Amino acid sequence: MALLISGCIAKTALDVVTLPVKVASKGVDMATTSQSEAGQKRGREIRQREERLGKLEREYDKLQANCLRGDSRACEKQSLVKARIDAMVSSVPYEAD
């Protein structure tokens, strides 16, 4: 029985000694992002920007058609949308085929 108790105490002592190391390493793991997680996040951000850019381009095309039909408000809005597209194009990376 005494042997069991001494083994239990030794195990508890080991757990107490290694606990700060385990806590510190867990904190580092939570604070850092793995390469794959960073890549996934970057890819998601790029796709979202590309989707927004596509939406703006479709809106621009629609406004252009209305502008060509003589709608002056569409011409004004088209200029604003074009400026937003131009600003956004620089933030979407180019991928060669």
Instruction: Tell me the pLDDT tens digit for each residue of 69-96.
Output: 999 999 999 999 999 998 888 765 665 5
Answer yes or no: is 87 within a domain: yes
Q: Is residue 74 part of a domain?
A: yes
Written as six digits, the tokens of 61 are 């095309």
Residue 33 lies in a domain: no
Domain-located, residue 57: yes
Write out the residue range of the structural domain in which residue 48 sits: 44-92
The answer to whether residue 71 sits within a structural domain is yes
pLDDT higher than 70, residue 10: no
How high does pLDDT run on average in the chain? 77
Mean pLDDT of 3-7: 48
Report if residue 64 sits inside a domain.
yes
Q: Between these two residues, 5 and 18, which has the higher pLDDT value?
A: 18
The structure's pTM equals 0.56
Count of structural domains, the chain: 1
Residue 11: inside a domain: no
